[in-house]
Amino acid sequence: MNEIWSVVHIEREALIQDLETLPPQRWATPSLCPGWDVHDVLAHLVDDAKTTRLGFLRHLIAARFDFDRLNAAGVTRERADDPHRTLAEFGAVSTRTTSAPAALATRLVEAFVHGEDIRRPLDIRRDYPTVHIATALRYQLNTGVGLGGGKERAQGLRLVATDADISAGTGPEVRGPALELLLAVSGRPVSANVLTGPGVTTLTREGGHRA
């Protein structure tokens, strides 16, 4: 548990450093999350870092158990007029260890997937710890889309990571780096030719979704 939180805190700090000098006009860059720009995703991460079990349940009830409405309300709540104020707030909560009532692996999914939601459109590169990407990928493969996972997207496919000791499922194969598999399973677009195998089209046919 402590190891996962340590990774999450490192990733939050790395994202803060990547965004500290971002020009004002680039905050409106569309992220990999449909309908959200880079600033929106950061606001979501602030809301996520502040979330407690009780707070999550209270907000979920207020959203009438609609996760999209829940996430949208969180972005509205935490998105400051000035993106750097949102970034400062993210810094203020970056070492917290509170979470919604979900498996701790979801914190890794948030850190890696939302990190790339922001970085890829901004052409910022980061190398994440592969062993923890594998943990996040395993979680996504065993969690339904309705709960933010990607189980249905990978159904009927065999996924093989080329840089980690992970293979899962049966059917047409999809092979590639664990991070790319994680993004694809999470409903994000991936770069051309980074995944190979007869199952690629099936896995990547769906557009991006918020995890």
pLDDT digits (tens, 9 = 90+) for 48-73: 999 999 998 999 899 899 889 999 99
Strand-by-strand arrangement of the 167-168 sheet: 167-168, 158-161, 173-176
Convert 101-134 to b/e letters by CB count within 10 Å (16 or more is b).
ebeebbbbbbbbbbbbbbbbbeeeeeebebebbb
- Is the pLDDT at 206 greater than 80? The verdict is no
* Residue 192: band (very low, low, confident or very high) from pLDDT cuts 50, 70, 90: confident
pLDDT (0 to 100) of residue 209: 38
Residue 1: pLDDT band with limits 50, 70, 90? low
CA dist 133 to 12, 89, 98, 140, 209, Å?
A: 15, 26, 21, 11, 18
Asked if residue 175 has pLDDT above 50, the reply is yes
Per-residue confidence (pLDDT) for residue 55, from 0 to 100: 94
- Mean pLDDT along residues 65-88: 95
Q: What is the DSSP letter of 27?
A: G
pTM for the whole structure? 0.93
**Model pLDDT, residue 179:** 98
With 50 as the cut, is the pLDDT of residue 211 above it? no
If you average pLDDT over every residue of the chain, what do you get? 94
Domains for the chain: give ranges and CATH numbers: 2-122 (1.20.120.450), 130-204 (3.30.1050.20)
pLDDT digits (tens, 9 = 90+) for 6-49: 999 999 999 999 999 999 999 999 999 989 999 999 999 999 99
